[in-house]
Amino acid sequence: MPELQASGIFAARVIEDIQSKADSGLYAIRGFGTLRERRWATFDDLTFLPCSLTRIPLEGYREKCSTKTVLGKRFAKKPIELDIPVMITGMSWGALSYNAKVALAKGAAAVGSSNTTGDGGMLKAERENSRTLIYEVLPSRYGINIHDMRIADAIELTIGQGAKPGTGGLLLGSKVSDRIAEQRDLPIGVDQRSPARHPDFLGPDDMIIKVEELREATDWQVPIFIKMGASRVYDDVKLAVKAGADVVVVDGMEGGTGASPAIFQEHTGIPTLAAVCEARAALQDSGVYGEVQLIIAGGIRDGVDAAKAMALGADACYIGTASLIALNCNKPIYEEDYRAIGAAPYACHHCHTGRCPVGITTQDRELMKRLDIEEGAERVRNFLRTMTLEIQMLARSCGKSDVHHLEPEDMAALTLEASAICNLPLAGTRKVFGR
């Protein structure tokens, strides 16, 4: 007997969404990032071409493969020097618990990597526990403090992020605790919506003046990063270069967030693979390839994604979601608490509720206790170290003694789209398609 047929367009999830809107007159807000099935080209559409006859590989476990990473060489007196090319991206204390922020700082420091503040400003414990700390200047300017900026190792001027380009931040009331409210100069318990735009510059021409202000404020010592959600990447990167950025950060569509309207996470911004290719083209056409560094973010899951991003032109990668998963996000523990918020391990994107079962995206002191700082730091350290080993293994197999020597030509495309986007031959054809 034939099975019942459900609509492909009005699928169960869509029906539920429409009826929920009809009930409440409200749109869905959640955390995490893009959830829909990937039907666009991603890093999975590329494969490495290690050495065989034409090139000589390095011994996987023995021969040197440098991972030292220097960012901000263009104008800054003190560029950032990291031991590895993977860094922790800006995530707000507010979206994240205090324990999570400190664990991330310690874990990154333990492997010679960096941490980034986030919406709401700098936590004292963050500066104390970070080896290298990047200070994010966001449209909201919550907690903005010149004294914190002056003890940071870099300033990141954030125009937007990959999960929700073109909009402002969101922190729902259950997470605007007394401490968060004080930090952000807000009433306790408000559903904080922050501005989409910076308050004192509107456009790349004004931004040139803003970058100069940030340099004046930090005595021209530290690198200035400009971070954008991946939208019109080619145009935006060229403008960031003209504005004087030392480092350009592009955050792709698959990037995560603690809370935002679901439609933004699903339907705005271009995928990270496409973004890194556009960004490199913009740097080349601006004549600053090699002079201005590129950091890529947006759903980087492991050393393979990072290595592919670096081969395509990134000098380093930020991880956000992956670092939280390393801290036990979505782990099958406290399972009844997942159910209580309507989620389950491996299928939880409920950061916005403030009731994170593993103590990461919550301000509830009891829940936060479930994330032990030292244990969390060790998990982050392990994950970053393993990512680095993966990048090194792939680089050595391609004959590179430095992970930054990975090139696009070390890869082949597995699909037509990836061939066109990355300007790489389609495996099996020796041809580049779509250009």
Partner 1 sequence: MANIDASAQSVREINQAIRHGIGRKEAVIVQNPGARHNLGVALLEVGEVRIAGSVGYYCGGLSDGASIEIEGSAGWGLAESMLSGTVRVHGNAGSGAAAALRGGTVVIHGDAAARLGVSLKGGTVLVGGNCGYMAGFMAQKGTLVVCGDAGEAFADSMYATECYVGGKVTNLGTDAVLATMDPGDVVRLEEMLAAYLPPALRKTKPRAVDFKKVVSGRKLWNFDKRAWKIWQEAL
Partner 2 sequence: MCGIVGYFDKTTANQTAVGERLLKMLEALACRGPDSAGVAMFGSLPPRHLVAQVKLGDSDNLAERAQLVTELAKEFGGEEFSRADAYLRFLFKEVDNLKPFLSKIESAGHDVEVVSVGRRLEIVKEVGSPGRLEKAFQVSKFQGKYGIGHTRLSTESVVDLSHSQPFWGHGYADLAIVHNGHITNYHQLRRIYEQRGVRFYTENDSEIVATFLADKLRQGKDLEAALHSMIIELDGSFSCLVATDKAFGFVKDPFSFKPLLFAETDQFVAVATEEVALRGAIPGNYSAREAQAREVKVWQT
Scan residues 200-219 and list those touching partner 2 (CB under 8 A): 202-206, 208-209
Q: What is the CA radius of gyration of the chain?
A: 21
User: Site for partner 1 (CB under 8 A): which residue of 92, 321, 353, 362?
Assistant: 353
Collapse the DSSP code of 214 into the 3-class scheme (helix H, G, I; strand E, B; otherwise coil) and give the result.
helix
Q: Compare residues 66 and 286 and give the one whose CB is closer to partner 2.
A: 286
- Type of residue numbered 243: A
Q: According to the binding rule CB under 8 A, does residue 206 interact with partner 1? A: yes
Q: Compare residues 212 and 378 and give the one whose CB is closer to partner 2.
A: 212
CB 136 within 8 A of CB 117: yes
Q: According to the binding rule CB under 8 A, does residue 381 interact with partner 1? A: no
Q: Compare residues 207 and 249 and give the one whose CB is closer to partner 1.
A: 207
Collapse the DSSP code of 283 into the 3-class scheme (helix H, G, I; strand E, B; otherwise coil) and give the result.
helix
CB 231, min distance to partner 2, A: 11
CB 234, min distance to partner 2, A: 9
Q: According to the binding rule CB under 8 A, does residue 232 interact with partner 2? A: yes
Closest CA to 409 of 421, 393, 423: 423
Q: According to the binding rule CB under 8 A, does residue 432 interact with partner 1? A: no
Q: Compare residues 263 and 333 and give the one whose CB is closer to partner 1.
A: 263
- Within 10 angstroms of residue 394's Cβ, the number of other Cβ atoms is 25
Q: According to the binding rule CB under 8 A, does residue 341 interact with partner 1? A: yes
Q: Which does 204 bind (CB under 5 to 8 A by kind): partner 1, partner 2, none?
A: partner 2
- Cα distances from 149 to residues 116, 178, 219, in angstroms, run 12, 24, 11
Closest CA to 250 of 217, 225, 267: 225
Q: Compare residues 171 and 240 and give the one whose CB is closer to partner 2.
A: 240
Q: Compare residues 60 and 203 and give the one whose CB is closer to partner 1.
A: 203
Place of tokens 């403030």: 354
d(CA 270, CA 262): 16
| Widest distance between CA atoms in the chain | 76
Per DSSP, 403 falls in state G
CA torsion sign for 378, 379, 383, 384 is negative
Binding site for partner 2 (CB under 8 A): 202-206, 208-209, 232, 235, 239, 242
**Residues lying near partner 1 in the complex (CB under 8 A):** 20, 23-24, 26-30, 140-142, 144-147, 149-150, 172-173, 184-187, 189-191, 193-195, 199-201, 206, 209-210, 212-213, 216-218, 220, 261-262, 341-342, 350, 353
